[in-house]
Structure 1
Amino acid sequence: MKAICYHNPRCGKSRLTLQLLQGHGIDVEVIEYLKTPPTDEVLDKLLLMLDMQPRELMRKNEQPYKDLSLSNIELDRNALIK
């Protein structure tokens, strides 16, 4: 089975993760998520696999989170994924 790595080449942790996987001989499909963002459906599936809610993946201290009012409790799961 091939592992999928949603990768940001500018991120040190992402580069380290990719090196670790490749260093262990794991076949990796690399998806640069900033160039090829995952669809809403893919994000939903990933969240289900991780047993996480959308806000758990969000950077709450960054400006886009604040600008988009993503802390609004009225926003449901689907709205947050979009």
Structure 2
Amino acid sequence: MTRAHRSLLILTALTVLALGTLADGLARSAGIGADVQVAASAVLLIVSALLLVRVLRYLTTGQPGRVRTTRQRRRRSA
């Protein structure tokens, strides 16, 4: 199992757990604890989902997603 596949499994599990924690926090009665749970799980969900998309993009294309600058685009077209 490669590093990318291991990251895929870990990030998938982390994303599912963060989503479950977010749903649990939204179902709780209003209070400081619920607010903290929702905020923390929302941040964790966003970060893990973004990293998961990045790993999936790497696994499907075989290349890390790099943004080319305008200068690099001009060199290729010239």
TM-score by length of 2: 0.27
More strand by share: 1
TM-score by length of 1: 0.27
| Structure with max Cα Rg | 2
More helix by share: 2
